[in-house]
A and B are shown apart, each in its own frame.
Chain A
Amino acid sequence: MVTKGAWWNDAGVRAVLYQIVVLGAILLLGWYLVSNTLANLAARNIATGFGFLGREAGFAIGESPLAYAPTDSYARAILVGLANTVIVALVGIAFATLIGLVIGIARLSSNWLVARLATVYVESARNVPVLLHLLFWYALITEALPGPRQALNPIANVFISNRGIKFPLPVWEAAHGWMAAALVVAVAATLVLARWARTRQAETGQPFPIIRVGLALILGLPLLAWLAGGAPTALDRPELKGFNFTGGHTVSPEFVALLLGLTLYTAAFIAEIVRSGILAVSRGQTEAALALGLSRGQVLRLVILPQALRVIIPPLTSQYLNLTKNSSLAVAIGYPDLVSVANTTINQTGQAIEGVALVMAVYLAVSLGIAAFMNWYDKKTALVSR
């Protein structure tokens, strides 16, 4: 039997002890900073706490997906800012992924011109700071487009001016509710059908035209619901009244500039990630698939991309997080995102520390949410050894 030494010589105990000491030191430092800040704020008679969130905000917000009036609270105003941030981030992520995928594949194209154009786009877009992208698009939109009175009118009832893009919306009726329900049913049916088709093809080898059938369902069912509901055609049209258009729906120049800037900038990075993912799949796979008689499109869709995804997804997650965080530059071009609204709140209440802490916590939560989703998707697409 080995004689047991003193407990403080045990490597395991020591390791735990060191960790406790480090954790304690970090907590102590945090406590010191917080208590010192609070004490000094109190000594200078500066109010602290989150009580201001319940007070009336009193300022207007340019665009809001939620109902908001200046009489609402600061908490509600910040929620509106968060909603604006989430919208631009989600739409931006969707477009950036789509454009990035196309450009990434185009860079590997055997067509000389297509490959070179894609290279020029990637190199020019990702080597310019994203703030300049935003300022460029915003200046272009506000300077190049005409005022509302001389608005461009490419399609009936659609107006493009330096006040944004105005388009008509259908006046809400019961039939639209049925259309939405029909769409949900169609999407669910398509998913079930796709699953069935996959199983059947695995078992019997018989293919099923799932894309065509699914598309027909998703378009057809809502159309049927619309016809059954009496086919309402009333539109809420934008009309020039006084200074600007009223009615219809508006996409503001700030949103368009922010979306364009973020999307085109991030898409360049995603294109490179897609390219690296595809190159990571060995050439032999393509040759084997072609030898089996699959078409070029099928090779890409069925053989290359599924294997490339596991290389693509981890860096893609970082790009999604970057896009979300870069949306905070919105304040430079006047889009009322979370930071913009929080800035106004901080300036009106003077409570910078609380406001900044709140913004940091919200960005952290949003980013962790995106990361959690992407990690789940990463696990799902990981190669399964059978």
Chain B
Amino acid sequence: MSKHIATPILALALTVVGAGLSQPVQAGATFDAVKARGSLNCGVNTGLAGFSAPDDKGNWAGLDVDVCRAVAAALFGDAKKVKFVPLTTQQRFTALQAGEVDILSRNTTLTSQRDTELGLNFAPPVYYDGQGFLVGKKVGVKSAKELNGATICVLPGTTTELNVTDWFRANNLQFKPVVIEKNDELAAAFFAGRCDAITSDASQLASIRSAQASNPDDYILLPEIISKEPLAPAVRHGDDQWFDLVKWSVYAWLEAEEKGITSANADGFKGKSNDPTIKRLMGDTPGLGKALGTGEDWAFNIVKQVGNYGESFERNVGMGSKLKLPRGLNAQWSKGGLMYAMPVR
């Protein structure tokens, strides 16, 4: 049987079997199950450089991967206690709903429909993205408004198809979609000249360009960003304690950057700071860990083992990485961005 038929059928089977075996939701069920198992099942992308992809040594790396590592560090004190489950766009929600994974950290856009109809809860966004267009420089297009009549390569199974259709309709322009299921095949068709442009989240386009173009400099991202794509980790409904842990792991990760605590200098802050926020974050003022159901040094472990949000960003997608994405909207709020940790107190 083809993989393409198999994917939805697998999803179906997961739901049916999951429905048959797992008892529906109890408070603390996920939290207790993860703790008893001793490791975290984390749903990630099958391969998206910078967000979740295995590195040359076979270890998973990326911004989405670091979210799960942070949660593992908070809960177990060990960022390595994560089992990564690569999921396609079709499988991802069913896998989370059926209990195959505990967290879905897979460049997933937070939308109202997913939050409600799919029975998910979203932690704070870890990357504010938007859908853009990548075109060859020699096409000579400077704006997406000049793409009337163009053929555009689109990845299915995302909000992308809908966004691009809406945007062209709103601007009274025509286009022809070419919809190919696999990222690699889609990018190959684009680079072979089947399409005039390829559209996806801007971060993903940067990832494709760095990984698959024979000469990345021959391609440019058009200035138009046609949608809001806040990428956020998700958990399923029914375990608020688990949702709290994931949410505050992300906030602690953000807060650490704001306070200038890094993996390198974390030891210098623990037990040595007079700032009450840092004292709470480092576990010197106890209480927070107990409330979350973890050890008091949960946030310290995140920073020590994974680094703060800024470190993760630079390492995986920032100017120091192959993707060379600017901080833009993903800078701290104090620096004109949208990253704003709720007060840890």
A-side residues, CB < 8 A to B, are: 33, 36-37, 39-41, 43-47, 58-62, 70, 131, 135, 138-139, 142-143, 147, 162-163, 241-244, 246, 253-254, 326, 328-329, 331-334, 336, 339-340, 342-344, 346-348, 350, 352-353, 355-356, 359
**Nearest A residue to B13, CB-CB:** A356
Q: How far is the CB of A115 from chain B (nearest CB, A)?
A: 33
- Say yes or no for B161: interface residue by CB 8 A criterion: yes
From 171 to 195 in chain B, residues with beta carbon under 8 angstroms from any chain A beta carbon are 175-182, 185-186, 188-189, 192-194
B-side residues, CB < 8 A to A, are: 2-5, 8-9, 11-12, 15-16, 18-20, 24-25, 89-90, 93-94, 97, 113-114, 116-119, 139, 147-151, 156-159, 161-162, 164-166, 168-169, 175-182, 185-186, 188-189, 192-194, 196, 236-238
Task: Please determine whether A243 and B8 come into contact, CB atoms closer than 8 angstroms.
Answer: no
- Chain A residues with CB under 8 Å of B116's CB are 45
Partner of B5, one of A62, A339, A348: A339
Task: Please determine whether A44 and B97 come into contact, CB atoms closer than 8 angstroms.
Answer: yes
Task: Please determine whether A331 and B4 come into contact, CB atoms closer than 8 angstroms.
Answer: yes
Q: Which 8 A-B pairs have the closest CB atoms?
A: A43-B24, A40-B19, A44-B119, A334-B180, A142-B192, A347-B157, A45-B119, A59-B161
Task: Please determine whether B151 and A163 come into contact, CB atoms closer than 8 angstroms.
Answer: yes
A246 and B176 alpha carbons, distance in the complex (Å): 12
- Chain B residues with CB under 8 Å of A353's CB are 12, 15-16
Partner of B118, one of A46, A131, A142: A46
A62 and B149 contact, Cβ closer than 8 Å, known pairs A253-B194, A347-B158: no
Besides the contacts A243-B139, A243-B147, A329-B2, what 4 more A-B pairs have beta carbons closer than 8 Å?
Answer: A59-B161, A131-B3, A243-B150, A328-B2
Task: Please determine whether B8 and A36 come into contact, CB atoms closer than 8 angstroms.
Answer: no
A137 and B162 alpha carbons, distance in the complex (Å): 29
Task: Please determine whether B185 and A332 come into contact, CB atoms closer than 8 angstroms.
Answer: yes
Task: Please determine whether B180 and A350 come into contact, CB atoms closer than 8 angstroms.
Answer: no
A172 and B19 alpha carbons, distance in the complex (Å): 56
Task: Please determine whether A44 and B162 come into contact, CB atoms closer than 8 angstroms.
Answer: no
A70 and B163 alpha carbons, distance in the complex (Å): 12
**Nearest B residue to A330, CB-CB:** B4
A334 and B192 contact, Cβ closer than 8 Å, known pairs A60-B165, A328-B5: no
- Chain B residues with CB under 8 Å of A352's CB are 8, 11-12, 15, 90, 94
Partner of A37, one of B19, B178, B236: B19
**Nearest A residue to B194, CB-CB:** A142
- Chain A residues with CB under 8 Å of B89's CB are 347
A39 and B19 alpha carbons, distance in the complex (Å): 8
11 contacts between A and B (CB under 8 A): A33-B16, A60-B161, A143-B192, A162-B193, A243-B196, A244-B150, A331-B179, A334-B179, A334-B185, A334-B186, A352-B11
Task: Please determine whether A70 and B169 come into contact, CB atoms closer than 8 angstroms.
Answer: yes
Task: Please determine whether B156 and A344 come into contact, CB atoms closer than 8 angstroms.
Answer: yes
Task: Please determine whether A350 and B156 come into contact, CB atoms closer than 8 angstroms.
Answer: no
Task: Please determine whether B175 and A60 come into contact, CB atoms closer than 8 angstroms.
Answer: yes
A41 and B114 alpha carbons, distance in the complex (Å): 14
A243 and B181 contact, Cβ closer than 8 Å, known pairs A162-B194, A332-B4: no
Task: Please determine whether A340 and B156 come into contact, CB atoms closer than 8 angstroms.
Answer: yes
- Chain A residues with CB under 8 Å of B119's CB are 44-46
- Chain A residues with CB under 8 Å of B180's CB are 331-334
Task: Please determine whether A241 and B149 come into contact, CB atoms closer than 8 angstroms.
Answer: yes
- Chain A residues with CB under 8 Å of B139's CB are 243
A-B pairs under 8 A by CB, number: 162
**Nearest B residue to A145, CB-CB:** B193
- Chain B residues with CB under 8 Å of A332's CB are 2, 4, 180-182, 185
**Nearest B residue to A336, CB-CB:** B179
Q: How far is the CB of B118 from chain A (nearest CB, A)?
A: 5
Task: Please determine whether A135 and B5 come into contact, CB atoms closer than 8 angstroms.
Answer: no
- Chain A residues with CB under 8 Å of B24's CB are 39-40, 43-44
Partner of A333, one of B117, B175, B185: B185
Task: Please determine whether A356 and B162 come into contact, CB atoms closer than 8 angstroms.
Answer: no
Task: Please determine whether B157 and A343 come into contact, CB atoms closer than 8 angstroms.
Answer: yes
Q: How far is the CB of A222 from chain B (nearest CB, A)?
A: 33
Partner of B149, one of A36, A246, A329: A246
Q: How far is the CB of B297 from chain A (nearest CB, A)?
A: 34
Task: Please determine whether B114 and A350 come into contact, CB atoms closer than 8 angstroms.
Answer: yes
**Nearest A residue to B159, CB-CB:** A348
**Nearest B residue to A129, CB-CB:** B2
- Chain A residues with CB under 8 Å of B149's CB are 241-244, 246
A58 and B161 alpha carbons, distance in the complex (Å): 8
- Chain B residues with CB under 8 Å of A244's CB are 149-151, 176, 196
- Chain A residues with CB under 8 Å of B168's CB are 60
A349 and B331 alpha carbons, distance in the complex (Å): 33
Q: How far is the CB of A347 from chain B (nearest CB, A)?
A: 4
A163 and B9 alpha carbons, distance in the complex (Å): 32
**Nearest B residue to A242, CB-CB:** B149
Task: Please determine whether A356 and B117 come into contact, CB atoms closer than 8 angstroms.
Answer: no
Q: How far is the CB of B175 from chain A (nearest CB, A)?
A: 7
A59 and B165 alpha carbons, distance in the complex (Å): 6
Task: Please determine whether B189 and A142 come into contact, CB atoms closer than 8 angstroms.
Answer: yes
- Chain B residues with CB under 8 Å of A47's CB are 117
Task: Please determine whether A344 and B15 come into contact, CB atoms closer than 8 angstroms.
Answer: no
**Nearest A residue to B5, CB-CB:** A328
Q: How far is the CB of A216 from chain B (nearest CB, A)?
A: 42
A125 and B218 alpha carbons, distance in the complex (Å): 38
Q: How far is the CB of B102 from chain A (nearest CB, A)?
A: 15
- Chain A residues with CB under 8 Å of B20's CB are 33, 36-37
Task: Please determine whether B177 and A60 come into contact, CB atoms closer than 8 angstroms.
Answer: yes
**Nearest B residue to A241, CB-CB:** B149
A193 and B114 alpha carbons, distance in the complex (Å): 64
> Which of B113, B165, B168, B175 counts the most chain A CB atoms within 10 A?
B165
Task: Please determine whether B19 and A135 come into contact, CB atoms closer than 8 angstroms.
Answer: no
**Nearest B residue to A343, CB-CB:** B156
A218 and B321 alpha carbons, distance in the complex (Å): 68
A356 and B18 alpha carbons, distance in the complex (Å): 17
Q: How far is the CB of B239 from chain A (nearest CB, A)?
A: 12
Task: Please determine whether A344 and B151 come into contact, CB atoms closer than 8 angstroms.
Answer: no
Q: How far is the CB of B229 from chain A (nearest CB, A)?
A: 15
